[in-house]
Amino acid sequence: MYLLVTKITVQLPRGLQARNTTTFVYKARSFSSDVTLTKRNDSSNGKEIMKVMDLNVNNGDEVTLYVNGVDEKISMDTLKNFLLNK
């Protein structure tokens, strides 16, 4: 197990507004790995809707995604692709 870290420029048309945040958190919760999302100096548990909403992530914002756990690779790939709107 290793900590996977990647910087992403969010490419979701409305950023992480309510619907996209719900989808992101649903995807994060489907994995057993720990997920942390940071924007500037603020960070949140990627599995808590209100914490992710508090980051106020908009299209074009740079965020850092940290994933650590037994299924970290697939978790990182899934969440990264979602934030890149793929």
CATH of the domain at 32: 3.30.1340.10
Structure confidence at residue 19 (pLDDT)? 95
Please say if the pLDDT value at position 46 is more than 70: yes
Amino acid (one-letter) located at 74: I
Please say if the pLDDT value at position 86 is more than 90: no
- Domain tally, the chain: 1
Q: Which of the 8 DSSP states describes residue 6?
A: E
Structural domain boundaries enclosing 76: 3-83
- Over range 80-85, report the average pLDDT: 96
Structure confidence at residue 74 (pLDDT)? 97
Question: Please, are residues 75 and 1 in contact by the beta-carbon 8 Å criterion?
Answer: no
Residue-wise pLDDT for 9-42, tens only, equals: 999 999 999 999 999 999 999 999 999 999 999 9
Among 45, 57, 54, CA closest to 20: 57
Q: pTM value?
A: 0.94
